[in-house]
Structure 1
């Protein structure tokens, strides 16, 4: 399998309270956040992920060894401020938030260090996944434009799983595949995307930047896929009991792993949809067994609807 660089600027320390089957409380510590979940699923599918982001403060001191335990390489920039963290209570069976502590925006030198580390890694791996910062305004669109432009100019395939305005910046730099949900797409075009013509027009706004493939996830509805002159629907098996946390990120991680291994976008998205479904059946967090994912992929339907 291939190598994948993942820009996941703000890994988080997850503290989760669970109920043990005997009724006792359990407290779990995990690395979390979009980039972490993309990296974990990419590794589950056999890729070698390189995770680029920030670590700092008391939470960073705890988070660092947890990331080291993941099946990925880390390129972390030391931050002058604490890494973000959250506490959730799942004893009721739902995710009840108790507390969130987020990182402030990085300084100029910290941004330059992250850009350099990410671009240097991307030029080695030849495939780059761009993930959002957390909170969203912690990195501006100009940072994503710089990274995408420098990587794309050297032939690196760039995948974006971003919301606006970060997506706008990345598109100016150069992106090959965009995965976005329907409400993020509505934010990108600042208008409705519920009707077929509205969706197609919004995707056209993305593809005018030279994007080859656009994937729109739509909750319970099949995903809409636009590739070349063709339009497809992507339908994964749906389940009633599970956790949505990290499903979209699992899809992106698996998609990146298959593309890095030389698969085409149809195979990559089919495996990606299966990975999202398997993640749902787990506790979320970008987890899933490769054999289960490939077996479930036989139940994923990718159907051409136009073109």
Structure 2
């Protein structure tokens, strides 16, 4: 039984051409949101089962690549065209040579994938629902049904989704929702860029089914809303090599903390540190655990007073170390008697 199960409907075969000593340097990897999350989780010491489809000859290659990275792969094999891309980065910028989102899942394949994800997710007790490569790969309602069934069985559900899939997952209910401010704007869920509007949107997402809401904001501190209120989490500033994969590393770091028994407020510190390290690297979802652990000490957490109706949103605490985060989650006054 793995620590974390990841629902990854359509992993992607990635071919990237770079240059080394004046010669082409070709890299072949498994990619896609669920893969990048899994890669970071393994780096943080968690065991991972990936439930996915493996399509055609590309799918057979992906199985080997995923297993070589230490994942337990539960794959639904099917014929057809898989998700893949070829990118040329020799000029310093990423140039698309060819891309394919793959083919939508047939009903039988979707039923089989749903079944294995439910089985393995209930066994591990912690599941990340990640998005597919293409918008038409599977019905959005799959996320509602799977989130609801997993939580009824006692599993915790973490989602990093947008659009119709986000709305569907909320209807099923989730323990942690991670979304970017940019995605909220694109989905029409955030039309006013003010801090008060963002906090109001987070409260709405909380009411609609997310026990905890994490919103990443690019280079700005991320925000977390849970049952105890809002906190602002600021990562250390790092020199950026590639921003892609930072959000997936954040999600993976949160899941790794939850798998260790941490609260969401503790786990988000690991997530923030993992995301900060990932931007310094060209490999998406990568980073060594020792450096992430060191960066955790540089993460700043501030509890926020939200009085949006009066136009006031401000931090009320300064830096909180990871060891002190438990106090933020404890609603008792400082002089309250501790039960024995």
CA distance in 1, matches of 2:94, 2:35: 19
CA distance in 2, matches of 1:58, 1:80: 8
Contact 1:185 1:193 survives alignment (8 Å): no
Contact 2:172 2:209 survives alignment (8 Å): no
Contact 1:2 1:260 survives alignment (8 Å): no
CA distance in 2, matches of 1:150, 1:31: 29
Pair 1:8 & 2:8 matched: yes
The equivalences for 1:211-250 within 5 A come to: 211-250=210-249
Aligned match of 1:95: 94
Aligned match of 2:143: 144
Pair 1:77 & 2:76 matched: yes
Aligned match of 2:200: 201
Aligned match of 2:19: 19
CA distance in 2, matches of 1:118, 1:176: 17
Note the alpha carbon deviations across 1:26-76, whole angstroms, 9 max, x for none: 001000000001111111111111111111112212222111111211111
Contact 1:79 1:106 survives alignment (8 Å): no
Larger Rg: 2
Q: Which has the higher contact order (CA 8 A, sep 6+)?
A: 1
Aligned match of 2:273: 274
Aligned match of 2:319: none
Note the alpha carbon deviations across 1:77-129, whole angstroms, 9 max, x for none: 11222221111112122222221011121000111111101010111000011
In the TM superposition, residue 261 of structure 1 has moved relative to its aligned partner by: 1.1
Aligned match of 2:50: 51
Structure 2 CA distance for partners of 1:45 and 1:193, relative to 1, 3 Å = farther
CA distance in 2, matches of 1:102, 1:141: 16
Compute the TM-score of the two structures, normalised by the length of structure 2.
0.86
In the TM superposition, residue 183 of structure 1 has moved relative to its aligned partner by: 2.1
In the TM superposition, residue 284 of structure 1 has moved relative to its aligned partner by: 3.0
Pair 1:305 & 2:304 matched: yes
In the TM superposition, residue 189 of structure 1 has moved relative to its aligned partner by: 4.5
SS in 2 for 1:204: helix
Aligned match of 1:68: 67
Contact 1:180 1:216 survives alignment (8 Å): yes
SS in 1 for 2:170: helix
CA distance in 1, matches of 2:96, 2:237: 25
Aligned pairs, how many?
306
Aligned match of 2:264: 265
Aligned match of 1:170: 169
Structure 2 CA distance for partners of 1:193 and 1:11, relative to 1, 3 Å = farther
SS in 2 for 1:179: strand
Contact 2:239 2:280 survives alignment (8 Å): no
